[in-house]
Amino acid sequence: KISMLTFYEVAYIGEILIVIISLTVLGIFPVIIIRTRAISRHFRFLLLLLWLSHFLLVGGQLTSIVMRWAYADIELCCMPWEAFQIFRLIHDVGFYMTTTAMFLLIYDRLLFTILYKHAEKREKYFRQMRIVAVPLGIVIACLWTYRADVDFAIAEACLIAHSCDAISCVFCALTYFLTKRKYRDSFTQTTLDTRYLLFESQELTFALLPVCVMAVILKNLSLITIWMYALDPTVPHAMVLLVFYSVNTVNVFLSQFLFIRMHRLLWKRFKKDHVCVIYTAHLYKKKKFQYATYFVMLDKQLMFTIYDGAFIGEILIVLISLCILSIFPLIILRTGAISVHFRFLLLLFWLSHFLLVISHAISIIMRWAWQDIPMCCLPWDAFQTFRLIHDVGFYMTTTAMFLLIYDRFLFTIFYKHAERRQKYFSRVMVITVPAGV
């Protein structure tokens, strides 16, 4: 028992480190994608869809870590079924969405390579596939989450997703060589714009190819543990899930970093924003008399870099807060020893915190949508939206905390007079809640 607990505790620490690294890469990836202008808006949307699916994978494992800590059940042997299903569903939706997003990325490049002279046809075919593939991936994930627990068919479900990944990998290789050949043959047949688009497609498929190969390898490694459990039920279920989730989370940060490293423009943007700032500052200081205007550009670049780092920190804070917020009401509702009255006050306290975190999340999304991370050009209406939600949540936290303490104060004084206690409390609550809002 001591050795088993020690093994699971070490693995638990390893999971935490993997999730922290993945969240760091997840915070950097969308900033680089948005700030790289040379990528088309259409392909940028697909990359952000892939990022969202990776975010769900990491969010599922992060929720698993927090829940196992909250229930003091690192080995996953005594956790309630409802709590287990929460992070299981999040992980499975993210798992299938990664397959769907990768397939759409490669399908888009394949359509462009074949129909690069027919933009309307290309958009039509891609729209039809997207309308079918995205909802189908979510439905299959939810269906297999349920069926895997009923019929023990998780290995079969994973095999379907991994087969799709392998097919995507083959099509990615074919698309790369086909694009390379068309680009080589286009020097005397097409315009300069078309040749540039073919070259961009060649670069994107070249960056996607090692990501697909690595995803197939890592997912097949995770599938081995599932087959071991399917063939031999004596294998500890907790160890199977630990390896399965951890390998998929490792795939998240490796694939995103590998894609940035293999793509020329993304790697250039990454080095410019996060690696070469100190060197650039030193270079400009040497030429301050000859190039005085560069100091203004340097200040702006340093400012943006500072704001980018703070923006990543905000994303991490919101992710952690949302994970804890998802656990708090579950624990409150499942604790039978708490009275209904005090449970209502705790949920009111939770709601006020939820408004605070949601307003912060809306602020992050709006600043990303308007590409205004320092919040210097954000429209007033957009600013007022999350400002109002934040202020309501801010005052509601004060109100809820006051009501919690006032309720315990009344109970201490009038613990023998329930009616009088409820009368005084209802009067104060009728005044304070609307006043706070």
Report how many domains make up the chain. Answer: 2
Query: Do 180 and 203 form a contact (C-beta atoms < 8 A)?
Result: no
Q: Could you write out the DSSP letters of every residue in 56-121?
A: HHHHHHHHHHHHHHHTT-TTSSS--HHHHHHHHHHHHHHHHHHHHHHHHHHHHHHHHHHSTT-HHH
Average pLDDT over residues 277-285: 46
Alpha-carbon span 246 to 212, nearest angstrom? 18
Give the 3-state secondary structure of residue 416: coil
118 with 226, same domain: the answer is yes
Composition of the chain by helix, strand, coil, percent to 5: 85, 0, 15
The tokens describing 353, both together, are: 């915190």
What is the C-alpha to C-alpha distance for residues 237 and 337, in angstroms, rounded to an integer?
32
Q: Are residues 248 and 331 part of one domain?
A: no
Residue among 22, 13, 17, 20 at smallest CA distance from 69: 13
| 252 and 362 both lie in a single domain | no
Residues 210 and 113 in one domain: yes
Using DSSP, state whether 336 is helix, strand or coil: coil
Backbone phi, psi, residue 43, to 5°: -70, -30
Average pLDDT estimate for 93-121:
83
The reply to whether 403 and 258 lie within a common domain is no
Residue 78 dihedral angles phi and psi, to the nearest 5°: -130, 10
What was the pLDDT predicted at 6?
Answer: 61
- Assess whether 19 and 74 both reside in one domain: yes
Q: Is residue 183 in some structural domain?
A: yes
- Give yes or no: residues 25 and 110 share one domain: yes
The alpha-carbon radius of gyration of the chain (Å, integer) is: 26
pLDDT over threshold 80, residue 7: no
If asked whether residues 332 and 405 sit together in one domain, one would say yes
In the block, residue with structure tokens 């109100």: 399
Instruction: Over range 192-208, report the average pLDDT.
Output: 79
Residue positions counted in the chain: 437
The better pLDDT of the pair 298, 148 is held by 148
* Same structural domain, 79 and 201: yes
Residue 73 belongs to some domain of the structure: yes
Task: Say what the pTM is.
Answer: 0.59
Q: Which domain holds residue 12?
A: 2-275
1 burial type by CB count under 10 A (0-12 exposed, 13-18 middle, 19+ buried): exposed
Per the model's pLDDT, the better-predicted residue between 266 and 173 turns out to be 173
Co-location of 343 and 228 in the same domain? no
Q: What are phi and psi of 182, to 5 degrees?
A: -70, -35
Query: Is 28 a domain residue?
Result: yes
Residue 308 lies in a domain: no
Which helix (H) or strand (E) covers residue 286, if one does? helix 277-286
- Which residue, 330, 395, 373, 432, is CA-closest to 83? 330
How far apart are alpha carbons 102 and 110 in whole angstroms?
12
CATH number, domain containing residue 241: 1.20.1070.10
Q: Tally the C-alpha atoms within 13 A of residue 14's C-alpha that lie toward its C-beta.
A: 13
Instruction: Determine what percent of the chain is predicted with pLDDT higher than 90.
Output: 0
| pLDDT tens readout for residues 215-240 | 888 887 877 777 777 677 777 777 77
Percent of the chain with pLDDT over 70: 79
Give how far the C-alpha of residue 348 lies from the chain's centroid of Cα atoms, to the nearest Å. Answer: 27
Q: 195 with 186: CB under 8 angstroms?
A: yes
- For the segment 25-37, the average pLDDT, to the nearest whole number, is 79
Question: Do residues 403 and 257 both lie within one domain?
Answer: no
pLDDT digits (tens, 9 = 90+) for 338-370: 777 787 888 888 888 888 888 888 888 877 777
Q: What is the pLDDT of residue 280?
A: 47
The more confidently predicted of residues 165 and 160 is 165
Confidence class for position 25, pLDDT limits 50, 70, 90? confident
Residue appearing with tokens 């698993």: 64
DSSP assignment, residue 233? T
Domain-ending residue, one of 275, 291, 311? 275
The answer to whether residue 303 sits within a structural domain is: no
Sign of CA dihedral 364, 367, 368, 369: positive
53 and 189: one domain?
Answer: yes
pLDDT (average), residues 385-394: 81
Q: How confident is the model at residue 307 (pLDDT cuts 50, 70, 90)?
A: low
What is the average per-residue pLDDT within 83-100? 80
284 within a domain of the structure (yes/no): no
pLDDT for residue 2 is more than 80: no
Does residue 410 lie in a domain region?
A: yes
Terminal Cα distance for the chain, rounded? 53
Q: What is the rounded average pLDDT for all residues in the chain? A: 76
Kindly state whether residue 122 falls inside one of the protein's structural domains.
Answer: yes
pLDDT at position 189 is 64
Q: CA-CA distance, 97 to 52, in Å (whole number)?
A: 8
Listed residues 212, 245, 275: the one ending a domain: 275
72 backbone φψ class: left, alpha, beta (φ>0; ψ -120 to 50): left
If phi over 0 gives left and psi between -120 and 50 gives alpha, with beta otherwise, what is residue 152? left
**Domain end marker among 239, 257, 275:** 275
